[in-house]
Amino acid sequence: MPSPVYIANAGLGHNAGLRLGLPLSLLSGRPLRLSGLVDDQPRPRPGLGPGGLTAALAAARVSQGRFQGELGAGSMEFTSGRVQPGDYAFDLAGLMPSAAPLSLVLETLLLPLAAAQGPSGLILRGGSHVPGGPTSDELAQVLVPDWQALGLKLNYSEIAPGFFPAGGGEAEIHLQPAGRLEPLQAEGPFQPRQVGVEVLIAGLPLHLAEQTLRGALERLEVHGLSGRGNIRRARGGKGQALLVWAGDGRLRVGFTALGRRGERPEALAVEAVETLTGFLRSGAALPADTASRLLLALACAQGVSRLMVSHASRGLKAAVETIEAFWPGTVLLGRSRPNEALGLRVQGRDWGRAL
Share of the chain above pLDDT 70, in %: 97
Specify the pLDDT at position 237.
79
Q: Do residues 147 and 95 lie in contact, with contact meaning Cβ atoms separated by under 8 Å?
A: no
Which is more confidently placed, 194 or 94? Answer: 194
Specify the pLDDT at position 325.
96
Q: Residue 15 pLDDT more than 50?
A: yes
Mean pLDDT, the chain, rounded, equals 92
- Count CB-CB contacts under 10 A for residue 284: 27
Specify the pLDDT at position 334.
86
Specify the pLDDT at position 56.
96
The tens digit of pLDDT for each residue in 124-175 reads 999 999 988 899 999 999 999 999 999 999 999 999 999 987 888 999 999 9
Query: How many H helices and E strands in the chain?
Result: 10, 18
Integer Cα distance of 236 and 215 in angstroms = 25
Integer Cα distance of 287 and 5 in angstroms = 28
Residue 34: pLDDT band with limits 50, 70, 90 = very high
- The domain segmentation of the chain, as residue ranges, is 5-185+286-354, 194-280
CATH of domain 5-185+286-354: 3.65.10.20
Specify the pLDDT at position 338.
66
Q: Do residues 343 and 308 lie in contact, with contact meaning Cβ atoms separated by under 8 Å?
A: yes
Q: Across-strand partners of 45?
A: 39
Specify the pLDDT at position 351.
63
- Count CB-CB contacts under 10 A for residue 141: 21
Integer Cα distance of 242 and 285 in angstroms = 22
Specify the pLDDT at position 254.
97
The tens digit of pLDDT for each residue in 280-289 reads 999 999 999 9
Specify the pLDDT at position 181.
95
Name which of 19-28, 291-300, 327-336, 344-353 the model is least confident about. Answer: 344-353
Q: Mean pLDDT across the stretch 79-96?
A: 93
Integer Cα distance of 297 and 181 in angstroms = 7
Q: Residue 61 pLDDT more than 80?
A: yes
Largest CA distance in the chain: 60
Specify the pLDDT at position 42.
64
Q: Do residues 117 and 85 lie in contact, with contact meaning Cβ atoms separated by under 8 Å?
A: yes
Specify the pLDDT at position 99.
85
Residue 353: pLDDT band with limits 50, 70, 90 = very low
Q: Do residues 158 and 102 lie in contact, with contact meaning Cβ atoms separated by under 8 Å?
A: no
Helices (H), the chain: 12-28, 50-63, 103-115, 136-138, 144-150, 206-222, 265-281, 288-299, 314-326, 350-354
Specify the pLDDT at position 354.
43
Specify the pLDDT at position 264.
85
Specify the pLDDT at position 355.
43
CATH of domain 194-280: 3.30.360.20
Q: How far is CA 59 from the centre of its chain?
A: 17
Question: Which strands sit side by side in the sheet containing 331-333, from one edge to the other?
Answer: 185-186, 304-309, 342-347, 331-333
Integer Cα distance of 80 and 11 in angstroms = 21
The tens digit of pLDDT for each residue in 194-245 reads 999 999 999 999 999 999 999 999 999 999 999 999 999 988 778 999 999 9
φ, ψ at 155 (rounded to 5°): -125, 140
Specify the pLDDT at position 335.
74
Specify the pLDDT at position 93.
87
